Amino acid sequence: MSKNSELRSVIETTAVVIGSFVAAVILIVLLTKDYSSAEPAVEKVVETSNTEPVAQVVMDTAESDSSDSSGAAIDAKKIVAANCAMCHEGGLMGAPKIGSEDQWAPRIAQGKDTLISHAINGIRQMPARGGNAKLSDEEVAAAVIDMANASGGNL
């Protein structure tokens, strides 16, 4: 075999490999392109009536600041509704459900001080102060006592 024949064979093989690669890329592009409409893609929004909000925003107002300083009683139910219920109503991320004596009993058995400490400082997936850093220790304690008592405790 001559050198020209060997060179020609290498060039032909290289051309076949490169051509096959280019053909494969073109084929993949053509098969994955969406030709269904000439209009740009529009995200479709489906509305359902059984959705619940993911979070609630609590606004800090001057009125609430003045009521705290005047020594007004803490409304634990409002604190629970605004800060705790999002996780504790449905048991989100392992949170004990309000009203479930089975889930709360081991926690209540640890004692009031331990429960309140866990709520203030956070434990496992629960953030400190239920995620609301503006809550005072007394407000967190009132919410914990309210939830525990609603779940079979007597704190």
Structurally, the chain folds into a number of domains equal to: 2
Query: Can you tell me whether residue 55 is helix, strand or coil?
Result: coil
| 55 occurs within a structural domain | no
**pLDDT at residue 67 in the model:** 44
The whole-angstrom separation of Cα 26 and Cα 33 is 11
The whole-angstrom separation of Cα 104 and Cα 3 is 87
The verdict on 104 and 144 lying in the same domain is yes
More confident residue, 67 or 110: 110
Q: Which domain holds residue 86?
A: 62-149
- Segment 12-26 shows an average pLDDT of 95
Is the separation of the CB atoms in 88 and 96 below 8 Å? Answer: yes
Which of the residue ranges 2-11, 65-74, 96-105, 116-125 would you say has the lowest mean pLDDT? Answer: 65-74
Provide the β-strand partners of residue 123: 126
Q: Where are the beta strands (DSSP E) in the chain?
A: none
| 108 occurs within a structural domain | yes
The verdict on 23 and 78 lying in the same domain is no
The verdict on 11 and 78 lying in the same domain is no
The verdict on 78 and 136 lying in the same domain is yes
| 45 occurs within a structural domain | no
The verdict on 76 and 121 lying in the same domain is yes
More confident residue, 66 or 8: 8
The dihedrals phi and psi of 2, each to the nearest 5 degrees, come to -90, 170
Percent of the chain with pLDDT over 70: 76
| 82 occurs within a structural domain | yes
The whole-angstrom separation of Cα 153 and Cα 111 is 10
Query: If you write DSSP's letter for every residue of 82-104 in order, what string do you get?
Result: IIIHHHHTTTGGGPPPTT-HHHH
More confident residue, 37 or 57: 57
DSSP annotation of 130: G
The pLDDT confidence band at residue 66, using thresholds 50, 70 and 90, is very low
**pLDDT at residue 16 in the model:** 95
| CATH code, domain carrying 90 | 1.10.760.10
Both tokens of 49, joined, read: 């009536």
Query: Can you tell me whether residue 108 is helix, strand or coil?
Result: helix
